Amino acid sequence: MTNLVEIDGGDGVPPEPNWRLIFGRAPDREAASAYWKSIISELRGAEKLAVANSHSIKRLVVAYVTYDISAKEVLKSGPVIKAKKTGVPTYNPWWTTMSNADSQAAALEKSLCISPRERGTGAKVEKKVKRQQAGGGYLKNRG
């Protein structure tokens, strides 16, 4: 497995997305921000945080928030509802959305090595070490 290398010019932490562009409701944006910070903290602690993972982290946050929204709706009306036109019992569309969000989140957690089972499998991000030269780079900066 290849090791990930930190990108120069930053602390290796991807910038938090503008949740206002994705979620219309303030509670959803607040939940997304809390999930983002939690995931970033988890990945940083496991030394697996890289800017290259920012889009995967964003998709994971969207899956979490979508799951939460869907779960609330399923709790209101149940996993099975009567179809409006026929009255025949059918799966609640929110149940399907919740199930899909759960599957997406599980796959992304595995990909990012977030779940405890996967933590040991992913590569750690190597921090670039700047070598000090004799003279502290004085001659390089003078010319």
**What residues does each domain of the chain span?**
4-126
Report how far residue 59's alpha carbon sits from residue 111's, in angstroms, rounded to the nearest whole number: 12
Residue 80 has φ and ψ, to the nearest 5°, of -120, 130
- 3-state class (DSSP) for residue 4: strand
Report how far residue 122's alpha carbon sits from residue 118's, in angstroms, rounded to the nearest whole number: 7
Pick the most confident of 50-54, 89-93, 100-104.
100-104
Residue 137: its pLDDT value, please? Answer: 55
Contacts of 58 (CB under 8 A, 6+ apart): 17, 36
Q: How confident is the model at residue 140 (pLDDT cuts 50, 70, 90)?
A: low
